[in-house]
Chains A and B, each alone.
Chain A
Amino acid sequence: MKFSQACKLAFMSILGSKMRSFLTMLGMIIGVASVITLLGLVTGVTNYLVDTFADMGTNTISVSITGTDTRKVDVDDIYDFAKQNDDIFLGVTPMVASSFTVKNGNTSMTTSVIGVGEDYLDINTLELSSGRFIQYADIANRYEACVIGTYVAEELFEGKVSVGDTIKISGKVFKIVGIQEEKSDSEANTTDDRIYIPYSVATRLTNSSNISSYTFATRNTEDTEVAEERLDNYLYGIMKNEELYSVTSMTELLDVINQMTGMLSAVLGGIAGISLLVAGIGIMNIMLVSVVERTKEIGIRKSLGAKKRDIMSQFVVEAIAISTTGGIIGIIIGSIATNVLGKAFGIEAVPTMGAILLAFSVSAGIGICFGYMPANKAAKLNPIDALRSE
């Protein structure tokens, strides 16, 4: 008997008892839909996390240099190095962070003041709501300019601040040249609770002779490994001692996130996979009932010359037809559910091709595995006994 004939018989049999076939498929539909939805949502969450971290700069590398009196790297060396390697480096900024008392008239607060270079804006993808960022000229001229966060603006000016106003940082007058756009709901100890000033001014304020922290940004996230290597080679060339400097990248953190969400999808997928297994057992159960009900039919077919494999393929194909039809319906429902739930959770979740292929092949595989036992039972029936049954 040809395969096409077996398919025809299978679909006739499925359509012959629609309600039962549907209920049998239901397990498959739910199983496949939940696998696809869960994997789709986890992928959405992963992308959301990765995007969030990318905003924080997955392409950034932090370098901290201790140095000694004889072995040291100054700001110009670092800028030269970044320029020589501008095929992979987007930019670099010194980081001189400290905490100061800031005053507007009689209102005062303590906030973190960070001395940065002009590239800081691009490296950290900051947005300004008004004014401009610290520029090269400010740094070169040691101009006392600052860019303030919204929390600072709220605390010192009750939000009524404009470019050109002045504040006192550690007793020195600074002109506000720009205001940062709100990033973290204007709360304390966030990126909104900050003041940026030129790094050349900051080193004076802190009385530090040399700058020990830099943030590099690479053009692509993929470049970070190469960039780390080059930085390491460069710094080791000068320091000759790994203890005197450190190079760390955000991608290392990203790897950990990926590992964690990967584990999450394995666990959730595994749980949903159990429902597929249960669906498979449901199919096996119904096929066993079907074999018993159709004993007479099997007997007739055998008496007319059906071989074991003819009966076998008839029942296996039927089981596969049930499970894959259920699988396809499940894929459709799962895809819709992924999109709807993704929107509800505010993440961009799409059914992954991998999940669809996995769900479909698992459903077909379940049809084969769980259809085999009943089909084998049917194929092994003795034609005389089968004919005699009613």
Chain B
Amino acid sequence: MNNEQLYDKTRVPLIQLIDIYKIYQMGSTEVRANDGIDLKIMEGEFVAIVGKSGSGKSTIMNIIGALDVPTTGQYILKGQDVSKMKSDSLAEVRNKTIGFIFQQYNLLTKQNLLENVELPLLYAGIHKRERKKLAMEALARLGIEDKWKNFPNQLSGGQQQRGAVARALVGKPSLILADEPTGALDSRTSRELLDFLKQLNDEGNTIVLITHDRSVAEEAKRIVTLKDGKITFDGSVNDYRKQV
């Protein structure tokens, strides 16, 4: 039995960061991007991690997203200790457990929308027919199934971001990790996206949103603020508003 099977979502957090340090050596000076972070996120939460640039929010997002490992500390994701994993195991964790939504959409320009959405399934080794079916379902969910043949440069920014969301959802990940998802969108499409994320959360999906924008952060249920690599606030949106 592996850890994942032991994982009990009612009692154990989905994400557990224990005393995370991420230290970069910049020449002779030491930069502590994450300086002792402890954080627990339960399944079904909608958490916004807020901070200015240089606060360490990108670093923590990389660690939560299993794109990077901490210098010291432990990161338990869905019962698995991710903090000591090698690159291929991390790739598998990202593939199976996490759905990324990036600021610049990050769609592959030489593949059409359907192929882009199929990518996580491709690397999961899912058969072609099944892959296409699931990808079309995800596109339909975002209302852009009629654009499946289009290449990213033939789509508007909003449509591309929907494609990116469809790609994040297609593998039914335990965690949706959105990094400045509205950063490149106008206010109307930003609104639509945030409403969609809320809807996903209402359906039981766990969402972690990384942003520097307080108004975007307030769409979440829980807010964590970072400053100089440390957590300075962790609480509900109401408490956050009072505190400011």
Contacts and interface: CB of A to CB of B under 8 A. Distances in A.
A303 B106 contact: yes
Interface residues of B, number: 24
Given A302-B91, A305-B92, A306-B91, A5 B122 contact: yes
B91 A305 contact: yes
Name the prevailing secondary structure of the A interface residues. Answer: helix
B62 A384 contact: yes
Contact of B106 (A305, A307, A387): A387
B140 interface: no
A301 interface: yes
B61 to A, nearest CB: 10
B124 interface: yes
Contact of A308 (B67, B87, B96): B87
Contacts of A383: 67
Nearest to A311: B91
Interface in A280-317: 296-297, 299-310
Contact of A307 (B68, B100, B102, B123): B123
B67 A306 contact: no
A305 B67 contact: no
A316 B125 CA distance: 20
Given A300-B108, A303-B94, A384 B122 contact: no
Contacts of A16: 110
B104 to A, nearest CB: 9
A263 interface: no
Interface string B100-126: 101000111010000000011011110
Nearest to A13: B110
Contacts, number: 58
| Interface-central residue, B62, B65, B68, B106, by most chain A CB under 10 Å | B106
B78 interface: no
Contact of B119 (A299, A304, A308): A304
B95 interface: yes
Contact of A305 (B68, B95, B102, B110): B95
Nearest to B92: A305
B123 A1 contact: yes
Nearest to A305: B95
A12 interface: yes
B100 A304 contact: yes
Nearest to A12: B110
Interface in B21-79: 62, 65, 67-68
A305 B62 CA distance: 14
A384 B167 contact: no
A1 B87 contact: no
A305 B87 contact: no
B194 to A, nearest CB: 22
Contacts of B100: 303-304
Given A1-B122, A1-B123, A304-B100, A297 B108 contact: yes
A313 to B, nearest CB: 12
B88 interface: yes
Contacts of A5: 122
A304 B110 contact: no
B20 to A, nearest CB: 16
Contacts of A302: 91, 94
Given A384-B62, A384-B67, A384-B68, A305 B108 contact: no
A355 B225 CA distance: 69
B106 A300 contact: yes
B225 to A, nearest CB: 23
A310 B120 CA distance: 12
Contact of B91 (A296, A297, A307, A387): A307
A307 B67 contact: no
30 contacts: A1-B122, A1-B123, A1-B125, A5-B122, A16-B110, A296-B106, A299-B106, A300-B106, A300-B108, A300-B119, A303-B67, A303-B94, A303-B106, A304-B94, A304-B95, A304-B100, A304-B123, A304-B167, A305-B94, A305-B123, A305-B124, A306-B123, A307-B87, A307-B88, A307-B92, A307-B123, A309-B88, A384-B62, A387-B67, A387-B102
Interface of A: 1, 5, 12-13, 16, 296-297, 299-310, 383-384, 387
4 closest A-B pairs (Cβ-Cβ)? A305-B95, A305-B123, A307-B88, A307-B91
